């Protein structure tokens, strides 16, 4: 490994702000998947998407390949790509993984975070307290909170893994903040985590965040149970599920 390369400058992390049509297409598709406009299992064709976004296939292709590399799209059977559709078992796998990674992150953050980062973390807590009782808003703020911890851990590989892991959240179903009482519980747990980090206690931080993730897991199961039950009931009534959504009109 070359340590002393004077010419090496850190490349600016690919500007997301209008960095070109390909980046924009990536954003649009990513959002559409996150919002559920494009459902898991749905097939996407390059021409269809390029017509939707009014651009040529080239940047669309690039965006789709990137999404594929990140695991949100996969080669579909009859050609083309489809949004990955996970079985229920994936939920356990996801949370097991998340518990491990977040636990590591919290422990490292307790060691490596500087004072500023800790104060930002605390400020995020205040912001969440001030938030209205809206599931979606809390989900967003929650992600900010967790990403703060990832960064405070100061481990680039861990950061990457966690960020790519979180891409799968929207593919697992609706927000867990829809579970009753989840907002209040989560906030209390967040406080515990920040306390442990502020106290520079890695073991306690890891333990707190692991409990947090396990609770989140339980909430997820509740939410998914509802979804599944509803789906079964609807099918029993002859409703074959929502008709395939068209890309133009959300």
Q: Is 241 in the site for its own copies (CB under 8 A)?
A: yes
Give the nearest distance from C-beta 175 to its own copies in angstroms. 13
Q: What is the distance between the alpha carbons of residues 78 and 22, in angstroms, rounded to a whole number?
A: 25
Q: Is 93 in the site for its own copies (CB under 8 A)?
A: yes
What is the rounded (10 degree) CA torsion for 19, 22, 23, 27?
Answer: 140
Q: Mask of contacts with DNA, 79-118, x by CB under 7 A?
A: xxx-------------------------------------
Long-range Cβ contact pairs of 90-99 (< 8 A, separation 24 or more): 90/172, 91/172, 91/217, 91/220, 91/221, 91/224, 92/217, 94/165, 94/168, 94/172, 95/213, 95/214, 95/216, 95/217, 95/220, 97/165, 98/165, 98/213, 99/210, 99/213, 99/214, 99/217
- In the window 158-197, what residues touch its own copies (CB under 8 A)? 158, 160-161, 164-165, 168, 171-173
Give the nearest distance from C-beta 31 to DNA in angstroms. 17
CA distances in angstroms from 178 to 5, 90, 185, 219, 223, listed in the order given? 51, 20, 12, 8, 7
Q: Is 21 in the site for DNA (CB under 7 A)?
A: yes
Residue 74 interacting partner from its own copies, DNA, none (CB closer than 5 to 8 Å by kind): its own copies
Residues at the contact surface with its own copies, assessed by CB under 8 A: 1-3, 5, 8-9, 11-14, 39-41, 61-62, 65-66, 69-71, 74-77, 82, 85-88, 90, 93-94, 96-97, 100-101, 104, 108, 154-158, 160-161, 164-165, 168, 171-173, 224, 227-228, 231, 241
Residues at the contact surface with DNA, assessed by CB under 7 A: 20-22, 44-47, 55-59, 61-62, 77-81
């Amino acid at each position: 490994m070359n340590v002393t390369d004077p010419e090496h400058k850190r490349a600016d992390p690919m500007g997301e702000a209008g960095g070109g049509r390909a980046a924009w297409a990536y954003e649009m598709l990513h959002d559409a998947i996150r919002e559920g406009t494009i459902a898991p299992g749905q097939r996407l064709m390059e021409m269809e998407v390029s017509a939707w976004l009014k651009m040529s296939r080239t940047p669309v292709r690039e965006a789709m390949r990137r999404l594929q590399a990140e695991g949100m799209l996969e080669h579909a059977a009859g050609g083309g790509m489809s949004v990955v559709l996970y079985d229920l078992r994936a939920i356990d796998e996801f949370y097991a993984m998340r518990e491990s990674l977040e636990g590591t992150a919290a422990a490292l953050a307790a060691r490596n975070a500087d004072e500023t980062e800790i104060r930002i973390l605390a400020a995020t807590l205040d912001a969440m307290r001030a938030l209205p009782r809206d599931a979606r808003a809390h989900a967003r703020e929650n992600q900010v909170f967790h990403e703060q911890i990832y960064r405070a851990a100061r481990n680039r590989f861990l950061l990457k893994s966690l960020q790519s892991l979180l891409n799968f959240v929207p593919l697992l179903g609706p927000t867990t903040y829809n579970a009753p009482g989840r907002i209040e519980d989560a906030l209390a747990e967040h406080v515990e985590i920040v306390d442990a980090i502020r106290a520079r206690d890695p073991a306690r931080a890891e333990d707190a965040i692991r409990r947090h993730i396990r609770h989140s897991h339980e909430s997820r199961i509740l939410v998914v149970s509802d979804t599944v039950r509803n789906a079964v009931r609807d099918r029993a009534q002859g409703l074959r599920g929502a008709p395939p959504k068209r890309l133009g009109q959300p």
